[in-house]
Each structure stands twice: as structure tokens, then as C-alpha cells.
Amino acid sequence: MKTAPSAAQRAIRSQLSPPHRPALPRRRVLPRWRARLWPLLSACALVLATAGPAHYTAASQDTSAASLPAVPARAWAVDCANNEALVIQHPGSYLRYRLHVIDEKGDQMRDQIETPEGSVARLIQRDGRPLTPAQDATERQRLNDLLASPDAFARHIRRDQESKQMGVHLLKLMPDAMFWSYAPGQPQLPGQLPGQPSAQPSGEPALVVLDFKPDPAWSPPNFESELLTGVEGRVWIDPRTRRMVRLEADLFHAVNIGWGFVAHLYPGGAVTLQQANVTGQRWIVEHIDERLNLRALLVKNVKQRLLFDTADYQPVPPMSYQQAIKMLLDTPHPTP
């Protein structure tokens, strides 16, 4: 006959037993961390995207090819935080465009509108096909729920703002976190951009090309910036507009974020990011191809792939998020 354990026995078992760990919401933890991870990588691109810093007059817009090596490569990044933060925050500029994302949730196309309060989007395609009537009804109900609940929209936007703030924070760290050097031969992108010559009239390359790698003497001030210690790559810069055109970066060694408790990134990850001037004054990320192999929150190893493309840009006037949702709902889309 079994008897109930005494208080002393229970105390001994509690000391010998491993501490209880509450179950982690796997379906939410990994995607949410990935949503915070790629802004870290894209911030690496944005911080290197600036040419012609204000504190170095030699790096002006009319810098010739012959004079480029005479300008310290770091000079191209010193003032980039102020210039490229506009790509993340874009105050006073609002667009409507198609957003195509392929990730762990599948292949999805959205019609997205930016507003001063944040972006809103309507799902219009899954796996390359228009939504079924039932799927479209579900999506319309989701948007109507946001109309009826400003608090729910505020929570959604708060997460987006946190990612943007993190990107701006990393922009300010990058000038000291990296070594910069001119890529030998200044290799231009195949085919160049539409309408862009292979060289400027002055003879300088159409794009300035920099290689970057971490400074081993730099110490990350917080766990989010630990990623910067493992990233190296190459960036292409438009010297006229002082903006990045393309970034190719690799995770060349393992990185522990938060001593490995938040994430452990294995070497071999890579990201390609492309940025474009879409309205004459507004630059936007138009393409991301990201491949990562990580262990998140000590849960399990995950191979993640993200393809992100934007297209069909249209400037829109400032409007409330409610007006943007109504515009999305009033727009007819193809049906199956």
C-alpha cells in the first residue's frame, strides 16, 4: 500500500528534480523571433548604404574614381545613420504597393498601404492563386475587426515599431562595429539598373562597392547587436543619391544572441537585400532573400527561408489607418 510522501521527502525530490520549464508556444516563438531577426540583418545593409558623409568633404558627390581610394572607406558610413534611417522611418512619404512573401506561412501576396499610424495590408493571393470566397470573407472580417478595435491595431503596430527602432539603433552602432574597404576593381552589378550607365560622366563607377567585416576589438553593447560580430559581405552604393542599391552578407561564424538563450545562429546563413528609388524621392527595400539556420529559445534547430519582394508602387496621401482599410476593402481583386 502506497503512502503519501512526507514533507521531508518532497523537499529532497524538489532538490534532485530539474526545474520546471513552462511549455513554450512554438508556433509563435520562432516566427516572432525571425520577424525581429531580419531587421537586424537589413540594418547592416542600411548602415553601409550612405556615401558622402558631411564630416569628410573629400567624399562629396563628385568624387572621381581616381580619388576614391584616398578617402577612408569608413568615411562612407560615418553619417549613414541619419541618412539611411529615412529608409526605415520615411516620415511624410507614403506608398501603396504589392508585398509578396514566401516563408514558413507559405506563399502570400498582399495589397499594402502605408499611413502615418502604420501600414495595413489585405491578403489577396495564396500560392499564386486568388483567394477563394471563403478565404476572402475571412480576410475581410479580419480587416473589419481592426476597424472596430483601434487597440488591436495599436498592438500590431507596436511590434512593427519595435523592429524599426531596433534597426535605427543598429544603424548607429555600425560605424564602429565594422571595418570597411573598397572592393578590388569596384565590380558593378550585372546589367546595372534600368537606365543606369556603367560609369558616371566623370569616369567614376555608377556604383561604389565596399566590403565589410566585423572589427574584432568591438564589443556589442546589448544582446541584439551581437549579430553584428558574425556578419561580413559587400554593399553597392549609388554615389549620387547616397543610398544602397544592393547588399550581400554572410554569417561566417556562429553567433550566440543572449548567451544562446535567445538564439544561436549557425554559420552558413546568408542574406541578399536590394533597395530601389521608386518615386524619385523615396527609397524602399524591394527584395530580400534570407537563409538562416538557428536554434531559437533553446527549443529546436530550425532552417528558415524568407523571400520578400515589393512591386507596383503608388504614392498615396496621408490618411488614417481606418481610411486605408476602407480603401483596401473597396478595391476589387481577381477571383478564382
Distance CA 236, CA 206 (A): 10
* Residue 280 vs residues 93, 104, 277, 284: alpha-carbon distances, Å: 11, 34, 6, 11
324: three-class secondary structure by DSSP: helix
pLDDT score, position 333: 81
| In the block, residue with C-alpha cell 566585423 | 214
Strand bridging mode 106-113 / 243-251: unpaired
pLDDT score, position 331: 95
Report residue 189's pLDDT band, with 50, 70 and 90 as the boundaries: confident
* CA angle (108 as vertex; 107, 114 as ends), nearest 5: 145
Report residue 298's pLDDT band, with 50, 70 and 90 as the boundaries: low
Interior/surface letters 60-90, b for 16+ CB within 10 angstroms, e for the rest: eeebeeeebeebebbbbbbbbbebbbbbbee
Helix, strand and coil percent figures for the chain, each rounded to 5: 35, 30, 35
Distance CA 123, CA 234 (A): 34
Q: Is the pLDDT of residue 222 over 90?
A: no
Per residue in 44-98, pLDDT (tens digit) is 434 333 333 333 223 333 444 544 657 787 777 765 556 676 667 777 899 999 9
How large is the average pLDDT for residues 279-285? 84
How large is the average pLDDT for residues 227-249? 85
pLDDT, greater one: 330 or 297 = 330
In percent, how much of the chain has pLDDT > 70? 68
How large is the average pLDDT for residues 326-335? 90
Helix (H) or strand (E) holding 172, with range, is: helix 150-177
How large is the average pLDDT for residues 96-123? 95
Q: Looking at residue 30, what DSSP letter applies?
A: H
CB 76 within 8 Å of CB 53: yes
pLDDT, greater one: 296 or 178 = 178
Q: Is the pLDDT of residue 167 over 60?
A: yes
The residues, any chain, with a CB within 8 Å of residue 257's CB and separated by 6 or more, are 223, 224, 226, 227, 263, 264, 265
Report residue 294's pLDDT band, with 50, 70 and 90 as the boundaries: confident
| In the block, residue with C-alpha cell 476602407 | 326
pTM given for the model:
0.74
CB 316 within 8 Å of CB 95: yes
Report residue 31's pLDDT band, with 50, 70 and 90 as the boundaries: very low
Distance CA 239, CA 56 (A): 14
pLDDT, greater one: 124 or 54 = 124
Report residue 269's pLDDT band, with 50, 70 and 90 as the boundaries: confident
pLDDT, greater one: 323 or 283 = 323
